[in-house]
Amino acid sequence: MSVLALTVGGEAILVEEYHHGAGIVSVGLVSGAVEDGESPREAAVRELREETGYAGDDVVDLGQTWANWGNQTNRVHHFLVRGCCVGTQDLDGGEIIEVALASVERLGDRLMQSYNQLTWYKARAHL
């Protein structure tokens, strides 16, 4: 699941996080997995709160895409969350995530992960 979250002032909420597989710190959108018994929307709201401390009042389902249809069965669910206000992060053990705010314009150029770029692209019609 991938979430483009916007503050009340319209700024994008980004996360800076180390990704062991790639060996880099990347700038991206909130993302994560859907837990058992949880809907993708519920996961988006939960991950946003946990990773950033932010919560919003307007969740837009942007649809889903295959993560890698060549050899995987999982999908990425894309969401836009508007009207976010800051709270307190609730990180998992070992997680270190820095939160940054950025302009939505040209955001796609800053996102390194393809599914985050797709979330930004799909959300543009709702901005």
Mean pLDDT, residues 24-29: 91
pLDDT for 105: 87
pLDDT exceeding 70 applies to what percent of the chain? 100
- Name the pLDDT band for 77 (thresholds 50, 70, 90): very high
Q: What is the DSSP letter of 12?
A: E
Tell me how far apart the terminal alpha carbons of the chain are, to the nearest angstrom. Answer: 19
- Measured between alpha carbons, how far is 20 from 11 in angstroms, rounded to an integer? 28
pTM: 0.93
